[in-house]
Amino acid sequence: MPPSTSSSVTLNINGEKHVLSVDPRTTLLDALRERLDLTGTKKGCDQGQCGACTVLVDGRRALSCLQLAVAAEGREITTVEGLAEGERLHPVQQAFLDLDGLQCGYCTPGQICSAVAVIEEHAAGWPSAVTDDVRPEAGPPPLTPQEIRERMSGNLCRCGAYVSIVEAVARAAAESPGGAGAPEDVTTAGATEEAAA
């Protein structure tokens, strides 16, 4: 009898433990979609370039198509299905709905998971490639449309819903504890930047 090529892995997903027997080469994305029927996480490019498969691993963004399921054992994994609290949507999900931050919806779960992490990263003072003052004592930079676009740049939208996505992230950030200011400020700044271009 040939040796088994399966590994047992326990995944903590959306607060529930799941024990799976998987090929060690199985990606987290395939385990979520094919084994656990959590199809909110989408398979786009399968190369880590589009962001459709973005989930949160220990609260940080991760491309589930590039991570092996066995490497996620013992970590807290949150998919788009795990963001809402019962019937109450997560503020980012609600903002995407209210502001039409989607068209076909295929990239939306990854966009939403990424936006949740973006807001937390910003509140923690993490700089981006467009942050003017990266000194820790400077604190979080203003969450301008340019900051949001840079921080969300790993998530592609083939429909081109970027304007509404930026507005949705701005609104959700403004409504979060220690928010970034009124979303109108961000939207107005975005319109001014686009008019100047």
Compute the distance between CA of residue 145 and CA of residue 188 in angstroms, rounded to an integer: 9
**pLDDT tens, position by position, 26-79:** 999 999 999 999 999 999 999 999 999 999 999 999 999 999 999 999 999 999
pTM exceeds 0.85: yes
Compute the distance between CA of residue 150 and CA of residue 137 in angstroms, rounded to an integer: 22
| Pairing outcome for strands 76-78 and 54-57 | antiparallel
**pLDDT tens, position by position, 169-189:** 999 999 987 665 544 444 444
